[in-house]
């Protein structure tokens, strides 16, 4: 409908100008008018793909920071996540993506372009599910009606979820067995409708996990037509071009140009570096660590005092850790990860920025196309000339995540899946995906070096991950799983889901609200941190411009969150 109103506005303006010259519009075709007949189907589709990417980017960082995948600053949740935090998401969804999809459907459906229209419906459904997961109820049935609904009222969150699932079913029907022509460029699956059906079914599985619908999950799993291997992964892939346009991953742009970049989450790094401890007392080091994070120093604790902003102490003295952490997170380190080069920031640290750029840990090779950590401890701020040059991915829905979602469902909802087997397959698939990024830095991985201790070999041989490394790590984690209580088993699955979904903060946020896990989530630095956002505040751009929009509270829960778990 918004597309039609654009056409009306253009025709009105042209008609007004023409009337001054006594021209008869009935005798002329305006070459500038936008109509379904002359709009470019493939140009619209290309813009929809980019807008969908932008929706994902706008949704995943603030949500992920609340769940400790990324660093959240500000001291309290109210300071960190303000109404303006999601203005970009709202604009991307309602001003760009949805109108373009409506315009595309007006062209593609009458023409039988089922791949164009079916895949566009899946992207719209994903966006609607995302908006509900973040805000609760949002406009849908009255959205994009132009002057018929200048201030569209919100539908209930459950109604929007149902509408999104209905769109997925429509899309599956259109895409199943279609022989329609594919878009000229389709960057996710190359126009393969069968792969899009797998993604749509996986979105239904994801929604069912949120709503505790074990029957739907079991039905989808038994059907077998969902994301289950790396070949099925739904991801957005970036290029390595620096300018005209910049086609690189956001993580690379953030840490590999000339600025310091974001702080990484100390808790997220701790999950890989030191959280898991074997029965023998030995730390289980995760093979993904060198792929996920790049250290600029070998010892983050041996720096000048001006480098730190630990909040409770000048130096990262672990005795200064807040006493109230003991109740939930007794082993989680404070300020840095001691004895290592990993230096990020603690959750909701409100302090100013010291001159710590030279020691601040950077995003690594996976998923952002940065540098592999080979103990060279270089500064990553080299104007975009190092590592994988930003040719990373957005892991929107990948097979390791699906395995671990199914494992959660088995433990929490009682589906017939084998949680232990899915934990293993999820870990293996996640490690394999990260290791696959070595292809972006093949020259680095194949370079021969001699270490200070006299060892010689290639970077891959000395620091990379072998099949034996993967087997040994999986065996160690499964031993923890076998020895754990039921709650401990779910906690371990949740931690592995956090790790496997790195780069997708929205799924970490949903996981935390569903389960309240990981159990040892790092608390805020101050004991008074406000309310955890069970849903986020409505965007300022919506509340200030829509007469029917009323601001909500962080304590308002999305319909599938029953409030049974405590969040902090």
Sign (positive or negative) of CA dihedral 37, 39, 42, 47: negative
What residues contact 433, with CB distance under 8 A and at least 6 apart? 230, 233, 366, 398, 400
Q: Please report the DSSP string for 301-358 in residue order.
A: TSS-GGG---SS-SS--GGGS-GGGGGT-TTS-SSS-TTSS---B-TTB-----S-TT
User: Cα angle at 229 between 225 and 234, to 5 degrees?
Assistant: 80
Among candidate residues 50, 88, 49, the one with its CA nearest the CA of residue 536: 88
pLDDT tens track, the chain, 568 positions: 444 444 433 333 333 333 333 334 334 454 444 455 556 899 999 999 999 999 999 999 999 999 999 999 999 999 999 999 999 999 999 999 999 999 999 999 999 999 999 999 999 999 999 999 999 999 999 999 999 999 999 999 999 999 999 999 999 999 999 999 999 999 999 999 999 999 999 999 999 999 999 999 999 999 999 999 999 999 999 999 999 999 999 999 999 999 999 999 999 999 999 999 999 999 999 999 999 999 999 999 999 999 999 999 999 999 999 999 999 999 999 999 999 999 999 999 999 999 999 999 999 999 999 999 999 999 999 999 999 999 999 999 999 999 999 999 999 999 999 999 999 999 999 999 999 999 999 999 999 999 988 999 999 999 999 999 999 999 999 999 999 999 999 999 999 999 999 999 999 999 999 999 999 999 999 999 999 999 999 999 999 999 999 999 999 999 999 999 999 9
What CATH number labels 39-226+537-543?
Answer: 1.25.40.390
Enter the tokens of residue 557: 């829960």
Cβ neighbours, 10 Å, residue 246:
14
pLDDT at 180: 96
Q: Which residue has the tokens 């315009």?
A: 103
Alpha-carbon span 122 to 138, nearest angstrom: 18
Q: In the prediction, which pLDDT does 452 show?
A: 87
Three-state SS at 364: strand
> pLDDT at position 23, please?
35
> Structure tokens of 47?
């813009």
For residue 418, the number of C-alpha atoms closer than 13 Å in the C-beta half-sphere is 5
Distance from C-alpha of 40 to C-alpha of 111, rounded to nearest angstrom: 13
The DSSP output letter for 318 is: G
Single out the residue of 200, 203, 40, 47 nearest to residue 118, CA to CA: 200
Do residues 150 and 133 lie in contact, with contact meaning Cβ atoms separated by under 8 Å?
no
Among the listed residues 361, 368, 333, 363, the one whose alpha carbon sits nearest the alpha carbon of residue 347: 333
| Token couple for 75 | 């001291």
Q: CA 429, 432, 434 angle in degrees (round to 5)? A: 110
CA-nearest of 541, 488, 560, 538 to 518 is: 488
Q: What pLDDT, on the 0 to 100 scale, is given for residue 118?
A: 98
CB 115 within 8 A of CB 176: no
Q: How many Å apart are CA 404 and CA 180, to the nearest integer?
A: 35
Q: What is the pLDDT of residue 36?
A: 54
CATH fold, domain 250-515, is 1.20.120
Residue 331: count other Cβ atoms within 10 Å of its Cβ: 11
What is the domain partition of the chain in residue ranges? 1-31, 39-226+537-543, 250-515
Q: Which two tokens stand for residue 244?
A: 């005209």
Q: Which residues pair with 348 in a beta bridge?
A: none
Residue 487 has what pLDDT? 98
Helices vs strands, H then E, count in the chain = 20, 6
Q: How far apart are CA 533 and CA 90, in angstroms?
A: 18
pTM for this prediction? 0.93
Cα 55 from Cα 50, distance rounded (Å): 9
Nearest to 132 by CA among 149, 155, 100, 150: 155
DSSP, residue by residue, 278-312 = -TTS-B---TTHHHHEE-S-S-TTSS-GGG---SS
Closest CA to 269 of 245, 243, 300: 300
CA 548 – CA 525 distance, rounded (Å): 37
């Amino acid at each position: 409908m918004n597309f039609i109103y654009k056409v009306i506005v253009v025709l009105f303006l042209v008609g007004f100008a023409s009337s001054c010259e006594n021209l008869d519009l009935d005798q002329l075709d305006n070459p500038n008018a936008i109509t379904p007949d002359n709009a470019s189907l493939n140009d619209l589709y290309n813009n929809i793909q980019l807008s969908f990417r932008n929706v994902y980017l706008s949704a995943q960082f603030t949500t992920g920071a609340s769940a400790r995948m990324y660093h959240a600053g500000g001291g309290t949740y109210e300071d960190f996540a303000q109404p303006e935090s999601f203005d970009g998401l709202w604009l991307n969804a309602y001003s760009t993506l949805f109108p373009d999809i409506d315009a595309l459907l007006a062209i593609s459906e009458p023409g039988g372009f089922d791949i164009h229209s079916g895949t566009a419906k899946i992207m719209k459904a994903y966006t609607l599910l995302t908006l509900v997961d973040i805000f609760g109820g949002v406009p849908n049935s009255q959205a994009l009606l132009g002057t018929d609904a200048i201030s569209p009222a919100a539908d209930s969150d459950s109604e929007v979820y149902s509408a999104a699932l209905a769109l997925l079913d429509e899309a599956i029907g259109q895409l199943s067995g279609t022989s329609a022509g594919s878009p000229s460029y389709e960057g996710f699956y190359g126009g393969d409708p069968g792969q899009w059906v797998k993604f749509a079914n996986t979105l239904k599985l994801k929604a069912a996990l949120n709503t505790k619908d074990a029957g739907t999950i079991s039905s989808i799993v038994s059907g077998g037509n969902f994301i289950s291997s790396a070949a099925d992964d739904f991801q957005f892939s970036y290029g390595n071009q620096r300018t005209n346009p910049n086609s690189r991953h956001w993580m690379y742009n953030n840490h590999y140009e000339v600025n310091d970049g974001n702080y990484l989450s100390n808790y997220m790094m701790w999950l890989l570096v030191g959280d898991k401890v074997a029965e023998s007392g030995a730390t289980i080091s995760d093979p993904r660590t060198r792929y996920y994070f790049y250290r600029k120093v070998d010892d983050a604790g041996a720096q000048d005092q001006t480098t730190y902003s630990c909040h409770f102490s000048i130096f990262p003295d672990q005795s200064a850790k807040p006493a109230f952490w003991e109740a939930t997170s007794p082993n989680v380190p404070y300020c840095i990860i001691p004895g290592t080069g990993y230096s990020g920031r603690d959750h909701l640290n409100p302090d100013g920025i010291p001159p710590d750029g030279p020691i601040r840990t950077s995003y690594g090779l996976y998923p952002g196309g940065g540098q592999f950590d080979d103990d060279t401890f270089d500064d990553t701020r080299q104007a975009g000339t190092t590592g994988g040059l930003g040719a990373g991915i957005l892991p929107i829905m990948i097979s390791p995540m699906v395995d671990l979602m199914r494992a959660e469902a088995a433990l929490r909802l009682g589906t017939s899946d084998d949680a232990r087997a899915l934990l293993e397959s999820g870990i293996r698939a996640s490690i394999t995906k990260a290791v696959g990024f070595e292809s972006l830095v093949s020259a680095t991985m194949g370079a021969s070096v001699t270490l200070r201790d006299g060892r010689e070999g290639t970077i891959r041989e000395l620091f990379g991950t072998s099949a034996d490394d993967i087997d040994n790590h999986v065996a160690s984690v499964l031993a923890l799983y076998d020895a754990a209580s039921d709650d401990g088993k779910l906690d371990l699955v949740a931690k592995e889901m956090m790790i496997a979904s790195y780069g997708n903060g929205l799924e970490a946020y949903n996981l935390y609200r569903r389960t309240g896990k990981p159990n040892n989530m790092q608390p805020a630095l101050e004991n008074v941190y406000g309310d955890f956002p069970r849903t986020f505040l409505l965007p300022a751009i919506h509340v200030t411009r829509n007469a029917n929009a009323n601001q909500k509270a962080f304590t308002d829960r999305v319909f599938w969150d029953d409030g049974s778990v405590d969040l902090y």
